[in-house]
Amino acid sequence: MKRVYLDNGATSFPKAPGVAESMMDYIMNNGANVGRGIYESSFQAENIVYETREKLAKMFHFHEPANVVFTKNITESLNIVLKGLLTKNDHVIVSSMEHNAVMRPLNSLGKKGVSFSRIQCNQVGELNPQDILRQVNGNTRAVVMTHASNVCGTILNLEEVGKICKDKGLMFIVDAAQTAGFMDVDFKRLNADVIAFTGHKSLLGPQGMGGFLISDDLAKVIETFIEGGTGSLSDKEIQPEYMPDKLEAGTQNIPGIYGLNAALEYLEKRGIENLRSIEMNLVQEFLDGLRKINGIEVIGKKSVNDRTGVVSIDVPGKDNADISFRLNDEYGISTRCGMHCAPSAHETLGTFPRGTVRFSFSHFNTLEEVEYTLEAIKKLT
Ligand SMILES: Cc1ncc(COP(=O)(O)O)c(C=O)c1O
């Protein structure tokens, strides 16, 4: 059976050309740890690790490669950042479109006296940044927000949010899981203090690779989440205070870093804006086609403006999970159904608890796959 992969919002497939080769090359021909050996292969690996920090800093328009911290995914990044920066009585503002990677750590921090307020987005997932002002109180320390919804693809106006944070002296922590590698994400233009990313979605790298970028000021004050060997200051039994060692204890996912490095190379060569335009042309065709099918509803924005390549549909009168299952079973089309780890986003969009069928594209998809998928949806609905 034909296979069409439309679950790039969960994790991208295929990965960028060169990712697998780069990982295999490291494992087969290098294999050394970094910061711990005084031999050639260790220096080589160390260079690639640093080069990857530099490439990420460049991509996010960020000034300091040493403040690019590697983790295993954005969930780990957000846990390190939120738990390392927030303390008793702190108040945080989030949107109603957040993923559980933000909401679960925040709810867990509730036990330590951290509270949050949620800004209600509208029925298509748009945020009115001015609403933040009504929630700021004397204890508010941070705004934590997703850059784009993983449920319906709506991009939130974070530039305005960043200006408000700067004006009010609040930390601005951005969840760029759905936008890193898909569009230009600019640390300075967003007035961000932290941008967290995951390597395996639009960055086209391997699973098990994520990270975050953190401002100099916050890097100084953040509490460490785990401590241990760094290969540096080995004569001391306390964690180094300097970056990135302060926040990177233990041996890193070096094969993953090699893979991400190759993916970043590919993105730079092809140009994120070029790839985005290829992807959004496919999304345009898909949305146009969906409009002509009776009995389905596109959830969120109906046009390609201010959205990513994530498109959710609801099929009233039918079981969305069944549609997703049959798309795979009868047509070989991989989608995702259900809550997508973002229950409050579904409440906002009016799809709780039914959930949606989510189609998420990448520039590797083709027009023919879009047409095939539209035909399959038409037959199933
Ligand atoms: C907006 C958003 N934040 C966080 C995550 C969590 O990503 P990961 O599983 O790579 O930690 C996802 C992934 O689905 C997401 O879409």
Domain-ending residue, one of 211, 245, 269: 269
Mutating to test ligand 1, I would choose from 94, 173, 178 the residue with most ligand atoms within 8 A of its C-beta, which is: 178
Distance of CA 378 to the CA centre of its chain: 31
Q: Does 114 lie in the same domain as 62?
A: yes
Q: Does 128 lie in the same domain as 262?
A: yes
The closest-lying atom of ligand 1 relative to the alpha carbon of residue 98 is 1
Structural domain total, the chain:
2
Ligand 1 pocket residue status of 175, Cβ below 6 Å: yes
Q: Which domain holds residue 159?
A: 19-269
Domain-ending residue, one of 235, 251, 269: 269
Q: Does 77 lie in the same domain as 29?
A: yes
CATH number, domain with residue 372: 3.90.1150.10
Are 191 and 166 within 8 A, CB to CB?
yes
Are 156 and 177 within 8 A, CB to CB?
no
Distance 197 CA to ligand 1 centre (A): 8
Which residue owns the Cα nearest ligand 1 atom 13? 10
State residue 44's pLDDT score. 96
Per-residue pLDDT at 175 exceeds 90 = yes
Ligand 1 pocket residue status of 178, Cβ below 6 Å: yes
Q: Does 54 lie in the same domain as 67?
A: yes
Q: Does 90 lie in the same domain as 51?
A: yes
State residue 140's pLDDT score. 98
Distance 321 CA to ligand 1 centre (A): 21
Residue type, 201: K
The rounded distance, in Å, linking the Cα atoms of 332 and 108 is: 39
Ligand 1 pocket residue status of 146, Cβ below 6 Å: yes
DSSP assignments along 292-350, one per residue: TSTT-EEES-SSSTTB-SEEEEE-TTS-HHHHHHHHHHHH-EE-EEE-TT-HHHHHHHT
Q: Does 190 lie in the same domain as 285?
A: no
What's the mean pLDDT in 293-312?
97
- Binned at pLDDT 50, 70 and 90, residue 36 comes out as confident
State residue 35's pLDDT score. 85
Domain-ending residue, one of 269, 290, 323: 269
Q: Does 288 lie in the same domain as 240?
A: no
pTM of the entire structure?
A: 0.97
What's the mean pLDDT in 222-243?
95
CA angle 99, 80, 82 (to 5 degrees): 60
Q: Does 144 lie in the same domain as 32?
A: yes
Ligand 1 pocket residue status of 358, Cβ below 6 Å: no
CATH number, domain with residue 116: 3.40.640.10
Q: Does 277 lie in the same domain as 239?
A: no
Ligand 1 pocket residue status of 7, Cβ below 6 Å: no
- Binned at pLDDT 50, 70 and 90, residue 182 comes out as very high
Are 118 and 131 within 8 A, CB to CB?
no
The rounded distance, in Å, linking the Cα atoms of 52 and 144 is: 26
What are 298's strand-pairing partners? 313
Distance of CA 176 to the CA centre of its chain: 4
